[in-house]
Structure 1
């Protein structure tokens, strides 16, 4: 019996010691130097910064507002106006320009534009998306070119893993077609994708 009691006592002492070890807080690196003359003690401390990957795309107003670019050809008063203004191939400027911004820290970004249906619609009538063209104020390597609706995605290269581009886009209605009267509407969805 005496041996069993001793073993139990040792076991309880061991468990208590483990509990104290578990409760001991982690300590930083330390070094002690002693002696005559110059002394040096070094201690290391590690740092860590956690940055999440992100991707931001803004086309037009910030937030949830969806802007509308309007091409208004309603100033027609005579057949001469029709001949000189509608379907004659003279491009019509949109009524607004839109600011765009693309920011990501996830490497290269693909940007594409997908239009609703086959074009802008008015009942059963359609104006194809190819009649809407976009121009970037800056574009190129520092701005943000307007992707062609329905074309393959364009890759925006990152610098040191970061894309930070902004620009201003304007749009034209090519006006190459004589179409039925009415208001034609459609939506282009611009999508940025990071691998």
Structure 2
């Protein structure tokens, strides 16, 4: 099995302020679904910052990993702790331009978006690859915990009218299958993360890491 993984960390703290996000204000989901020139089998996956895949539409970039693990975080104002108002999470990603290699400005505001892309090139072997994400049961701060189900994400791809292929969702404290990636296809969109803020938590910095995996038999 060919497999490539990347990680993103989610952190919750309880000291300062952050802008509120209303789910009702979120627009329709979109994604980029692009064609790749066929060739020897290769998987390409990125979450946040990463290396360009190579010449546009070929996935012929240097094999390996960028080694970057981006951070997504939110700080909950004391006066709003546990009031059930969803809070937008910020990102330290700076990746705005597509890694497909065409220079498209896929995620115009990476400080609130994380670019997620998955590509599968083939001329033989399995017809599809599978994109999944795994999360632990909880974010932790010492012995205190917050269920990972408190964190969800929405998706967008400005300027694209293509149907959503890497969907919005909520972490489940396990593994979620996000998308089936057909051969010689590249999917890409922007994920914006939201903390549900559904209960009062003990003060602290809560950490947890989620792992995105693209695989083909």
Q: CA RMSD in A?
A: 2.2
2:139 aligns with: 120
TM-score normalised by the chain length of structure 1? 0.62
Does 2:206 correspond to 1:184? yes
> Tell me, which stretches of 5 or more residues in structure 2 are unaligned?
1-37, 51-65, 92-112
> Tell me, which stretches of 5 or more residues in structure 1 are unaligned?
1-49
Structure with the larger RCO, 1 or 2 (CA within 8 Å, 6+ apart): 2
Higher helix share: 1
TM-score normalised by the chain length of structure 2? 0.56
2:47 aligns with: 59
Residue by residue over 1:21-75, the C-alpha shift from the partner in whole angstroms, topping out at 9 and shown as x without a partner, is xxxxxxxxxxxxxxxxxxxxxxxxxxxxx932000110011121111011111x4
Between the two proteins, the alignment pairs up a number of residues equal to 135
Q: 1:140 to 1:181 in 2, by over 3 A?
A: farther
Higher strand share: 2
Q: 1:192 to 1:174 in 2, by over 3 A?
A: same
Query: 1:156, CA displacement in angstroms?
Result: 1.8
Does 2:48 correspond to 1:92? no
Query: Tell me, what secondary structure is at the counterpart of 1:133?
Result: strand
Q: Highest CA radius of gyration, 1 or 2?
A: 1
Does 2:71 correspond to 1:68? yes
